[in-house]
Structure 1
Amino acid sequence: MKTYTATHKYARIAPRKSRYVMDMIRGKSVNEALRILQSSNRRAAPMIRKVLNSAIANANQDLGSVAALVIENARIDGGPTLKRFRPGPMGRAMRIRKRTSHITISLAEAQQEGE
Structure 2
Amino acid sequence: MAKAKNPRRVGDNEARAKLRMIRISPQKLNLVAQLIRGKKVETALADLEFSHKRISGDVKKVLQSAIANAENNHGLDIDSLIVSEAYVGKNLVMKRFRARARGRGARILKPFSELTIVVREIEETVEEAPAKKPSKKKEAA
Q: Shorter-chain TM-score: which interval?
A: over 0.9
Compute the RMSD of aligned alpha carbons. 1.7
Shift of 1:89: 1.9
DSSP 3-state at the match of 1:8: strand
Normalising to structure 1: TM-score of the pair?
Answer: 0.92
What TM-score do the two structures reach when normalised by structure 2? 0.76
Q: Distance in 2 between matches of 1:111 and 1:15?
A: 33
Larger Rg: 2
For residues 8-33 of structure 1, the C-alpha deviation after alignment (integer angstroms, 9 at most, x for no partner) is: 00100111111111111100000000
Q: Does 1:110 align with 2:122?
A: yes
Match of residue 86 from structure 1: 98
Report the Cα distance in structure 1 between the residues aligned to 2:119 and 2:109, rounded to whole angstroms: 32
1:112 CA displacement: 4.4
2:23 aligned with 1:12, yes or no?
yes
Whose relative contact order is higher, 1 or 2, with alpha carbons under 8 Å and at least 6 apart?
Answer: 1
Residue 114 of structure 1, CA deviation: 6.8
Task: State the partner residue of 1:21.
Answer: 32
- Kindly tell me the number of residue pairs found equivalent between the two proteins: 115
Tell me by how many angstroms 1:39 deviates: 0.5
Contact 2:13/2:76, CA 8 A, preserved across alignment: no
What secondary structure does 2:106 align onto? strand
Paired with 1:74 and 1:81, the residues of 2 have a C-alpha distance of: 22
- Which structure 1 residue ranges, 5 or more long, are not aligned? none
- Structure 2 runs not aligned, ≥5 long: 1-11, 128-141
Q: Distance in 1 between matches of 2:71 and 2:59?
A: 18
Counterpart in 2 of 1:2?
13
- In 2, Cα distance between equivalents of 1:44 and 1:27: 19
